[in-house]
Structure 1
């Protein structure tokens, strides 16, 4: 088999192995293996808990129409996720073409910049989570907004810096990677904060659906269309606009921590 094909099969085989391991090892809840709920085991109950039926299973109707579709904060972060993903994939999917066509990178240099963009997201995500938990006391919107403001600055540098300064372009791309994955992660976490834990999977699925179908697909199709007809400047205007819209929708959830009371209902 040619080496080029092996490169595509190898990650897929790893994913299959992990999925099989998870299928046999992971369990749905502590109760499913005869253990008490984690709140009982740790004697750690929400301060706002006023009900004793938090472990009650919710019906599909309750999950969808009581906690998900009627939750305005969840819709705000779902729309924010569209624009965050648009920036994430709009930058990374078009980085090789932009760096070689506009910035004068050769293919090896653009591949290294692409590689560092992705791996910069690891420490960036950890730092964003710490910032949300420790500095903003569990609020997700302030940390996500702060990171998206940083993304705006890094995108502007990446766009407006003149060609011939590869370190500036590489550092700007790394900064975008460091920053963009924080809001990606926090939006998913915030979705879990906004609903009872029995509806957490549905809430996370809604925001993920918007992110991948709305943001990732849009980034591939719309970015290419805009660049073709309006040039790279038009593409970057779209990315900066997407940053601004993500910040707008995230700001609408600034007070969403009050919904801790909701999570005690179930």
Structure 2
């Protein structure tokens, strides 16, 4: 890495009497920084969906806007993997901020776009910069929160995208009001992202050692199962990729599971409005409520799942992930057959509460399976499969199947994805079982 993106150097350790209070303060500060920072990423990602109706009035067709939307998923999937590898060798304080600021700047250009080619290029750029968000958060999490508490902390942090994705509707309305035009849908979120990126630089930190604190493993006396000769050594990109990621069969299993988890996640949420209005004849208002129920049910569901994986499964992520996917399978079956507004809303709440558990757990598992200096690459690897495989299938394959075989065929595809996700998660059933290794007797490298 170069310049400000280089990992922050370690400084002399603080006096012993100051370590505990300083650690507690910085852990809160760092957590809030990555939570709010990642939430703002969704301000400049989800606003495009709200702008589609206005863009149609500007002369764009639905087909063109669908193509543009696919550019974000395509770029994001690739970028999350590439940027994950770079972020493992970077200072997340500047890395995350740079992506947020650049994404904000791109949003300022959307309203002045006239042609589909330029709009596609801007969305691809936006997706690429969006890939700079998750990996540095993963790196930060592995440095400030120990192995034994990561499930809970990651589950809470993971709700940032639900909060951001939901709150953007309020920001969008405010933008239209302030700027007196639909262009405010891009201007206000873009400006907020730029300011947020600058504030992130002020409040975020790199590693505990960069502010005079001991490594988190030493502070919590909690040493992970994955051991390396020197946990604090910054690795080369090649070493991370070939030694710890591509050569890890369990990472491949959860990456493949992620394809099908994401197919279910986006296969439901991306088609909720169309399905409910076309097949169940819901009003736009009832459809909007159902859409929100799905997203916001994920917040308590994700947190509870993370806590359960740490508290009752000794850090094993696969068992609770499989339980969630079994619940999702039943939820999808009932959702696809019901005509009742109440039952459909309840099943969407159940699906939303459960599906984001495996989404979060696969990300945590990726961090569990590698040294902390390789966490961004591992998470990016699973994300690549999720977005390039699962989300693309949810957008394209789901549409083709529904056109050819009706909604029944579409739901059969989703149910098949549920089963396959369970199969691949089962291969990691006993991975990261903290009860099988003695952290108290393991000495730091």
Pair in the same fold by TM > 0.5: yes
Equivalent residue for 1:96? 273
Equivalent of 2:247 in 40, 60, 70? 70
Residues 151/141 of structure 1: CA separation in 2 closer, same or farther (3 Å cut): same
Could you tell me how far apart the structure 1 residues matched to 2:324 and 2:302 are?
A: 10
Q: 2:256 aligns with which of 70, 79, 93?
A: 79
User: Comparing 24-33 with 230-239, which one deviates more in the overlay?
Assistant: 24-33
Cα distance in 2 for partners of 1:235, 1:108 equals 24
Secondary structure in structure 2 of the residue aligned to 1:256: coil
- Cα distance in 1, alignment partners of residues 406 and 227 from structure 2: 57
Cα distance 1:27–1:233, how it changes in 2: closer, same or farther (>3 A)? same
Q: Do structure 1's residue 26 and structure 2's residue 201 form an aligned pair?
A: no
- Flag the 1:227–1:190 CA change in 2: closer, same or farther, 3 A: same
Query: Is 1:54 paired with 2:231?
Result: yes
SS in 2 for 1:82: helix
Is 2:315 the partner of 1:155? no
- Residues 226 and 369, structure 2, Cα contact 8 Å, conserved in 1: no
Flag structure 1 segments of 5+ consecutive residues without an equivalent.
none
Cα distance in 2 between the residues matched to 1:228 and 1:24: 51
Per-residue CA deviations over 1:25-57 (Å, capped at 9, x if unaligned) read 2222122234332233x1614276876622122
C-alpha deviation, 1:5, in angstroms: 3.8
Q: Give the distance between the partners of 1:228 and 1:12, measured in 2 at CA.
A: 37
Structure with the bigger RCO (C-alpha within 8 Å, sep 6+) is: 1
CA-to-aligned-CA distance 1:86-126 (integer Å, 9 cap, x gap): 11111001001100111121111001100111011000100
**Residue in structure 2 matching 1:167, options 319, 326, 342:** 342
Matched, 1:44 2:236: no
Q: Structure 1 CA distance, aligned partners of 2:312 and 2:258?
A: 23
Give CA deviations for 1:119-145 in whole Å, capped at 9, x if unaligned: 110001001101111111211000111
1:181 corresponds, among 356, 359, 365, to 356
The answer to whether residue 373 in structure 2 is matched with residue 198 in structure 1 is: yes
Further displaced range: 57-66 or 170-179: 57-66
Confirm or deny: 8 A CA contact 2:226 2:370 kept in the other structure.
no
Distance 2:260 2:192 in 1: 30
Q: Distance in 1 between matches of 2:224 and 2:245?
A: 23
Structure 2 CA distance for aligned equivalents of residues 218 and 105 of structure 1: 26
Quick check: 190-199 or 11-20, which moved more? 11-20
Aligned-pair CA distance for 1:6: 2.9
Check 1:15–1:182 CA distance in 2 against 1; reply closer, same or farther (3 A cut). Answer: farther
Partner of 1:27, secondary structure, is coil
TM-score by length of 2: 0.55
User: How far did residue 213 of structure 1 move?
Assistant: 1.7
* Partner Cα separation in structure 2 for residue 115 and residue 246 of structure 1: 25
Q: Secondary structure at the match of 1:53?
A: coil
Q: Which residue of 1 aligns with 2:402?
A: 227
Q: Report if aligned partners of 2:262, 2:359 keep a CA contact under 8 Å in 1.
A: yes
Is 1:208 the counterpart of 2:383 in the alignment? yes
Identify the match of residue 141 of structure 1 among 312, 315, 318.
Answer: 318
Contact 2:262/2:391 (8 A) holds in 1: yes
Q: 1:211 Cα shift?
A: 1.1
Task: Give the whole-Å Cα distance in 2 for the aligned partners of 1:106 and 1:192.
Answer: 43
How many aligned positions are there? 262
The 3-state SS of whatever aligns with 2:432 is: helix
- Identify which range, 103-112 or 251-260, moves more after superposition: 251-260
Range moving further from structure 2, 20-29 or 77-86: 20-29
| Distance of 2:391 and 2:401 partners within structure 1 | 15
String of CA shifts for 1:55-85, please: whole Å, max 9, x gaps.
Answer: 1222222211111000000011111111111
Question: Superposed, which structure 2 residues align to 1:102-141 within 5 Å?
Answer: 102-141=279-318
Residue aligning to 2:416: 241
